[in-house]
Amino acid sequence: MIIKCLALDDEPLALSKMASYISKTPFLELTGACRSAYEAGEIISKTKADLIFIDINMPDMNGLDFVRTLHNRPQIIFTTAFSEYAIEGFKLDALDYLLKPIGYPEFLKAANKARSYFETVVQDQKKDPETKAYLFVKSDYKIARVAVNDIIYIEGMREYVRIHLNSGKPLMPLMTLRVLEEQLPADRFMRVHRSYIVNLEKIISVEHNRIVIEGKVYIPVSEQYKETFQKFLISHSLG
């Protein structure tokens, strides 16, 4: 597969080097090389970008703030001369973090990490949701394999979702509930609220307009999804 890339750096030499690295890598395609966040925003609005190599320290808007403004955000690899920004990059769920000066071996290692991510995601998306036994989600700089049966419920949190699991602490990938909903088996998972998807097999009871999930967690059922959930209850009721 070919990954469409955008390079963003206010330093001409650094930008030229990054663009040349992208151009010489067979599975990457350079769609633009920009010296400002404004210019990058214009290109992204007109041209699809799968991945952005972006400098953090820029005069008009730093790379961290620029990434926060993006809707339908491409994957991100930050580049900077200052290692203290790594934590902020981590919080934005970047694929990787390159410390300047960047040699081609370091660049290629990050690019291969991006390729592995995209290949994993594409292969997973091609599967029929009804037959999926597991999903791959990117969280905390790694791609985690999540067994579908291990998911208790999923909570939407603006740019992130929190996937609550039987087996351990929640995962927080950068995605929307809608995207995740499309990848889950519809016979086992249901959207019951703007901010919640539940594993129907984990329901213990229903109290008024609240679902009680394993672990005594209460999930509200909103008016928008109430009719669909009621139909599910009726179809699985005795008498």
32 to each of 26, 49, 190, how far by Cα in Å? 16, 9, 40
Rounded Cα distance between 201 and 229, Å, is 13
Nearest to 138 by CA among 168, 185, 171: 171
Residue-level pLDDT at 131: 53
Rounded Cα distance between 124 and 206, Å, is 33
**pLDDT band for position 144 (50/70/90)?**
confident
Higher confidence at residue 185 or residue 191?
Answer: 191
The 8 Å CB, 24+ separation contacts for 102-110 are: 102/17, 102/18, 102/21, 104/21, 104/24, 107/18, 107/21, 107/25, 108/21, 108/25, 110/77
With a cut of 80, say whether residue 158 has pLDDT above it: no
Residue-level pLDDT at 162: 92
Structural domains of the chain, with CATH: 3-125 (3.40.50.2300), 131-235 (2.40.50.1020)
With a cut of 90, say whether residue 195 has pLDDT above it: yes
Rounded Cα distance between 107 and 17, Å, is 11
Top-ranked range on mean pLDDT: pick from 9-23, 69-83, 128-142, 201-215: 9-23
Buried b or exposed e, range 31-49, using 16+ CB within 10 angstroms = bbbbbbbeebbebbeeeeb
With a cut of 70, say whether residue 128 has pLDDT above it: no
Radius of gyration of the chain (CA): 21
Question: What mean pLDDT, rounded, does the chain reach?
Answer: 86
CB 135 within 8 A of CB 150: no
Nearest to 138 by CA among 80, 55, 202, 77: 77
